[in-house]
Amino acid sequence: MKRSRRIRLVLLGGLASGTFASCSPPPSISTENVYPNNHHVPGVGYYHAPFRAWYPLPYNQFDAAQQRYYHGGQWDAAPHESITNLSSPTPEAVARAEIVRTDVKRSGFGSSSRGFSTSS
């Protein structure tokens, strides 16, 4: 009997810690952080380390219909070859990424004033 109670406590503890971990906000994107190739940020895209920015498709994704590879925002006949697989994004890439990312919940004044109208 004691053994089953311990198991329940461990399972409940695991569930609780997972719940609290999901409540913490995702880390901010920064020029001081280093990101690996194809690091994905919801709403932003995939990080292409050699190009130091995010793009909508993974680095060197192959399109069989076009017979082309995607990298750095364009399609090419050959995959991009680079020894860079970790880098820090440019300030411009960080600014764009922070604006469009969808993994951060933002609130504002928009929802509190809906449904009210003024008449004169």
In the chain, domain spans: 26-100
Span 59-77, average pLDDT: 97
- The arithmetic mean of pLDDT across residues 23-35, rounded, is 84
Tokens of 101: 């990312």
Question: Higher confidence at residue 108 or residue 32?
Answer: 32
Tokens of 102: 């969808």
Q: What share of the chain is helix, strand, coil (3-state, %, to 5)?
A: 30, 20, 50
**Partners of 63 in beta bridges:** 68
Tell me the per-residue pLDDT of 38-50, one tens digit each, with 9 for 90 and over: 999 999 999 999 9
pLDDT band at 19 (very low <50, low <70, confident <90, very high): low
Taking all residues of the chain, what is their mean pLDDT, rounded to a whole number?
80
Q: Tokens 């994905």 correspond to what residue?
A: 40
Q: What is the pLDDT of residue 116?
A: 45
